[in-house]
Amino acid sequence: MNIDGTVTVAPNTPAGDYTVQYTICEVLNPANCDTATVTVTVEKSPIDAVDDIAGPINGNTGGTTPSVLTNDTLNGIPVNPADVVITSTPNGPLTVNPVDGTVTVAPNTPAGDYTVQYTICEVLNPANCDTATVTVTVEKSPIDAVDDIAGPINGNTGGTTPSVLTNDTLNGTPVNPADVVVTSTPNGPLTMNPADGTVTVAPNTPAGDFTVQYTICEVLNPTNCDTATVTISVFGNVIQANSDNFTKYNCEVLGADTSIVGNIFSNDTLNGTAVKSTEVNYSILTGGTLGISIDNSGYVIIGENVTVGTYNITYEICDKVSTGNCSTATLVINVVGVTNGEKTLTAEACNTDTLPIDLATLLPAGVPTTGTWIDDSTGKLVGSEFTPLNVPTGSYIFKYFVETATCPINYALNMTIKDDCGIVLGCGAIKVHNAFTPNGDGINDIFVIDNIDDTSCYPENTVEIYNRWGVLVYEVKNYNNQNNAFIGISHGRTTISQSVGLPVGTYFYILNYLSIDGSGKVQTNKKDGYLYLTR
């Protein structure tokens, strides 16, 4: 109560009715007094929570709005957070902070408008409350699919590009494949892998540039999408045709024939490896000649009527996958005329001779001895060895045929069989016995070479013997199975101490010898093989 009779209500007084007694006394007669009561009604302040609109907030990262109290009032002035109590029940991704009135939007919130109610109550008068609604707009993250250029990819084998997502962004940062859905429609040889964004190029794709569109959509907001195009460069196989040079021998006496002289693909390559006829097409560009043809497998065929001469043919091979991917080379064919008729040899033998005659020793020097002997009459020919014993006297023809790199060689050996021989005609065959036991028991103590000591047939020879490591352990000229013979002891120009008994084991021999054929000509011969020494 003031001196002038007014009543002052203290600040921060809760609402309600308050009373105070007061007494008035006459100044002239101080005992002349009276008492009364004054009742003062204190009202609560008006409180106003105003609806709010907040945002936009990025739903990918989430975020926080300004305080909802900004536009709320208490007693007609902006609310002081210390003067009110904020209450709210979280709604979905939204939570109101009771301390400052901000609203938190949870991360990974889909785009859209979200609402939450809140109530403010005056601290001084807890029942003095008001409620409002805050609406928060959540926006989708910016998504950007960027065009790509990939390759080159080998069209023959096909392949896979890096991911198209590498340069794409979501919310300004590189895309995490788990955050987007990749869709695409296959285009020709291109197929996109929706799991990682790589693009597969099918095998046997022609060279060129290929494109395919793809779309990425945010998992959080499936309608938040962007589309881009990837362009992939596909290169063809590396094809290389290399020139060829083939020779055809026309063996005139044996008869002209149709023959294959080689294959144009034999030295051509595709991607660095030998080309297969199924991978390429070929064509003759220039120099095609009647009688010379190339089949689908690349074999060059020379007809029987092609005349002697040199033929130059330009051919081209093209990749079947990329038909414009080609390479050119030159094929040179030499047709050479060869007169190679049957030649005649003569020899004599005695039908009392028990030793076989190696007919191969009667062939001229340089003639391969790997051919075939034919005996149509005596029945005494085994391989190349003919035994004249008891063959009726007369003339017999032995045919010999051998293939060579040019033309086949034919010989006719006219063998005259006699029965009035004072000496044995023909030479015994050289035969190497490749096992011996030099243990001093007098049985098989010597390395024996049959007939090598017949100097009338085999005037000279050398024998070399090597151990398993290639070391020369024995060497001698004019081996004769007697005083010049291998008895298991090192001898000659060797790297092992001479006169040393050699250990049991496997050795290798080389026999070089001269022979005299039926016409008196000297021939050079060689035999080699393994030798087994035991004791």
DSSP assignment of 191-257 equals: EE-TTT--EEEPSSPPSEEEEEEEEEEESSSTT-EEEEEEEEEEE---EE---EEEEEEEETTT---
Q: Is 338:405 a contact under the CB 8 Å cutoff?
A: no
Where does 343-418 sit in CATH, by number? 2.60.40.3010
325: pLDDT confidence band, cut at 50, 70 and 90?
A: confident
Output the CA–CA distances (angstroms, integers) from residue 304 to 252, 258, 308, 449, in the order listed.
11, 5, 11, 49
Give pTM, 2 decimals: 0.49
Across the beta sheet with 273-274, the strand order is 239-240, 269-270, 273-274
Q: What is the DSSP string of 405-425?
A: SSS-EEEEEEEEEES--SS--
Nearest to 130 by CA among 172, 175, 79: 79
130: DSSP letter: E
pLDDT at 320: 86
The mean of the pLDDT values for the chain is 88
Helix locations, 57-135, DSSP H: none
Nearest to 164 by CA among 96, 230, 87: 230
pLDDT at 323: 82
Query: What number of CA atoms fall less than 13 Å from residue 290's CA on the CB side?
Result: 2
pLDDT at 386: 93
pLDDT in tens, 246-279: 877 666 433 344 567 789 999 999 888 899 888 8
Q: Is 171:142 a contact under the CB 8 Å cutoff?
A: yes
CATH architecture assignment, domain 143-235: Sandwich (2.60)
pLDDT in tens, 418-461: 886 644 446 788 899 989 999 888 899 999 999 999 988 899 99
233-248 CB burial, b ≥16 within 10 A, e <16:
ebbbbebebeebebeb
Task: Tell me how far apart the terminal alpha carbons of the chain are, to the nearest angstrom.
Answer: 148
Sequence letter at residue 234: V
Homologous superfamily (CATH) for 240-336? Immunoglobulins (2.60.40.10)
CATH architecture assignment, domain 47-139: Sandwich (2.60)
